Amino acid sequence: MAVLDDIGPLKDAALAAVAAADTLDALEAVRVTHTGRKSALAEILSGIGRLSPAERGPVGKTANEARKAVEAALADRHAALEAEAMGAALARDDTDVTLPGDPHPLGSLHPITQVRLEIEDIFLAMGYRIADGPEVEDEYHNFTALNVAEGHPARSSSDTFYVADRPGVALRPQTSPVQVRAMEAGPPPLYVISPGAVYRRDDVDATHSPMFHQLEGLAVDEGLSLAHLKGTLVHVAEELLGKGVEYVLRPHFFPFTEPSVELYVRWTDKHGRSQWLELLGSGMVDPNVFAHVGYDAEKYTGFAFGMGLDRIAMVRHGLPDLRLLFEGDIRFLEQFS
Ligand code: DAH
């Protein structure tokens, strides 16, 4: 009865291995070795059918008992090791879950960011996309391609921050150069907006800062007219300030548009004070600008506009000083969450 005699030692070896396993991983390895499909015990059990009829009964009974004993020992050891691991983890973990938590302030979007996102949404809903451009810009995109004449005051270093030792390279004084880059990047039709920081040397008073934010817009297509520009601007003003907002378009001059208009809106602040606010500059894109980017001015027309985001945030919240927006004082900023 050679097979029957094997079972006892196999069982003893398995039980000894179970007892010796001191981690859950080690125990799993013992389980595979001693009761897994390729274990000696499993082979005996699956070979029972090939034994002589006399052997089958005793071998089957003994092997099954051995398997049950090993499985029971495995289960006990598993429970014991798990309890041990849990006990150790609890001993290591000295967190007192009854203590009050550490405050974790969430923060909020900066008021200028809030205005920017709101205006972006108005344009995205009309099918515009957002274009980006560099803040350190060359002379061609800042001025020349925008039809800004040589000798125009904006080109002078008393108005614009130039980069030392890089002739013509300056911090962009407006977001308008992104128009040029958007047109260079592809043919019409084009409906883009471009928000971003701009830089000017005019921090003369509390309503100016050497860095502020604009949102530029450009539409180029066949058949666009001043009526489309007006419709677009009035729609934006109404989305931003409410239906029925009082507005007026006034002729103006910008080098890159002809004709050019400024949009003024009547703004009533939360104290009931009412004033006319210059919301943006705009106009029909000058054919000279199209010539610089290779657009056919006989076939296409376009309109452009640029508005100051900081100004809108300032008026909306009745801020007395633009510089508050850039100081990063938490006591100020948390009022806009
Ligand atoms: N860039 C102008 C400024 O900074 C604003 C502006 C006016 C942008 C007319 C335009 C425009 O695109 O067509 O004052």
- Whether the pLDDT of residue 109 is over 90: the answer is yes
Domain boundary among 92, 120, 138: 92
Phi, psi at residue 209, to the nearest 5°?
Answer: -145, 150
**Beta-strand pair 190-199/129-130:** parallel
Number of independent structural domains in the chain: 2
Share of the chain above pLDDT 70, in %: 99
Question: How many A from CA of 95 to the centre of ligand 1?
Answer: 59
216 CA: nearest ligand 1 atom: 12
Closest-CA residue, ligand 1 atom 12, reads 305
Q: Is the domain of 87 the same as that of 139?
A: no
Q: What is the pLDDT of residue 202?
A: 82
Q: What is the pLDDT of residue 92?
A: 87
Among 128, 143, 176, 290, the mutation site with the greatest number of ligand 1 atoms within 8 A of its Cβ is 176
Integer Cα distance of 123 and 50 in angstroms: 82
257 CA: nearest ligand 1 atom: 13
Closest-CA residue, ligand 1 atom 5, reads 306
**Beta-strand pair 190-199/170-171:** unpaired
With respect to residue 182, please indicate whether it lies within any of the assigned structural domains. yes
214 CA: nearest ligand 1 atom: 4
Closest-CA residue, ligand 1 atom 10, reads 305
Domain boundary among 61, 92, 123: 92
How many other CB atoms are found less than 10 A from the CB of residue 191? 19
In this predicted model, what pLDDT tens digit does every residue of 247-280 receive, in sequence order?
Answer: 999 999 999 999 999 999 998 877 788 889 899 9
Phi-psi region at 318: left, alpha or beta (left = phi > 0; alpha = psi -120 to 50): left
> For 16-20, 145-149, 267-271, 293-297, which range has the lowest pLDDT when averaged over its residues?
267-271
Cβ(259)–Cβ(283) below 8 Å: yes
Q: Is the domain of 218 the same as that of 130?
A: yes
**Residue 118 corresponds to which tokens in the numbers above?**
């709101």
CA geometry: angle 115, 116, 119, nearest 5 deg: 85
Closest CA to 215 of 76, 293, 104, 122: 122
Q: Is the domain of 291 the same as that of 245?
A: yes
Q: Which residue has the higher pLDDT, 271 or 117?
A: 117
With respect to residue 51, please indicate whether it lies within any of the assigned structural domains. yes
**Domain residue limits at 15:** 2-92
Q: How confident is the model at residue 337 (pLDDT cuts 50, 70, 90)?
A: confident
Domain boundary among 41, 57, 92: 92
Question: How many A from CA of 319 to the centre of ligand 1?
Answer: 24
- Whether the pLDDT of residue 1 is over 70: the answer is no
Q: Which residue has the higher pLDDT, 45 or 197?
A: 197
Q: Is the domain of 9 the same as that of 68?
A: yes
In this predicted model, what pLDDT tens digit does every residue of 216-255 receive, in sequence order?
Answer: 999 999 999 999 999 999 999 999 988 989 999 999 999 9
Q: Is the domain of 195 the same as that of 77?
A: no
In this predicted model, what pLDDT tens digit does every residue of 170-205 receive, in sequence order?
Answer: 999 999 999 999 999 999 999 999 999 999 998 777
Q: Is the domain of 123 the same as that of 173?
A: yes
Q: Is the domain of 88 the same as that of 116?
A: no
Identify residue 84 by its one-letter amino acid code.
E
Integer Cα distance of 120 and 114 in angstroms: 10
- What CATH number should be reported for the domain holding residue 281? 3.30.930.10
Closest-CA residue, ligand 1 atom 8, reads 306
Q: Is the domain of 85 the same as that of 132?
A: no
The residue-averaged pLDDT of 63-85 equals 92
With respect to residue 202, please indicate whether it lies within any of the assigned structural domains. yes
Q: Identify the sign of the CA torsion 200, 220, 145, 169.
A: positive
Ligand 1 binding residues, C-beta < 6 A: 174, 176, 216, 254, 256-257, 281-283, 304-306
Q: What is the pLDDT of residue 189?
A: 98
Phi-psi region at 312: left, alpha or beta (left = phi > 0; alpha = psi -120 to 50): alpha
198 CA: nearest ligand 1 atom: 4
Q: What is the pLDDT of residue 207?
A: 77
Integer Cα distance of 145 and 140 in angstroms: 6
Question: How many A from CA of 256 to the centre of ligand 1?
Answer: 8
Distance of CA 220 to the CA centre of its chain: 29
How many other CB atoms are found less than 10 A from the CB of residue 13? 15
With respect to residue 101, please indicate whether it lies within any of the assigned structural domains. no
Integer Cα distance of 289 and 274 in angstroms: 38
Q: Is the domain of 233 the same as that of 159?
A: yes
Which contiguous run of DSSP H or E holds residue 257?
A: strand 257-268
Cβ(187)–Cβ(221) below 8 Å: no
Q: Is the domain of 166 the same as that of 85?
A: no
Q: Is the domain of 165 the same as that of 294?
A: yes
With respect to residue 259, please indicate whether it lies within any of the assigned structural domains. yes
Integer Cα distance of 7 and 174 in angstroms: 89
Among 256, 289, 311, the mutation site with the greatest number of ligand 1 atoms within 8 A of its Cβ is 256
User: Is pTM, for the whole model, over 0.85?
Assistant: no
The residue-averaged pLDDT of 96-114 equals 89
Integer Cα distance of 247 and 264 in angstroms: 5
With respect to residue 221, please indicate whether it lies within any of the assigned structural domains. yes
Q: How confident is the model at residue 289 (pLDDT cuts 50, 70, 90)?
A: very high
State the average pLDDT for the chain: 92
Cβ(284)–Cβ(300) below 8 Å: no
With respect to residue 104, please indicate whether it lies within any of the assigned structural domains. no
> For 123-127, 145-149, 154-158, 210-214, which range has the lowest pLDDT when averaged over its residues?
154-158
Q: Is the domain of 121 the same as that of 67?
A: no
Closest CA to 182 of 293, 288, 285, 282: 293
- Whether the pLDDT of residue 110 is over 70: the answer is yes
Closest-CA residue, ligand 1 atom 14, reads 281
With respect to residue 105, please indicate whether it lies within any of the assigned structural domains. no
Closest-CA residue, ligand 1 atom 6, reads 306
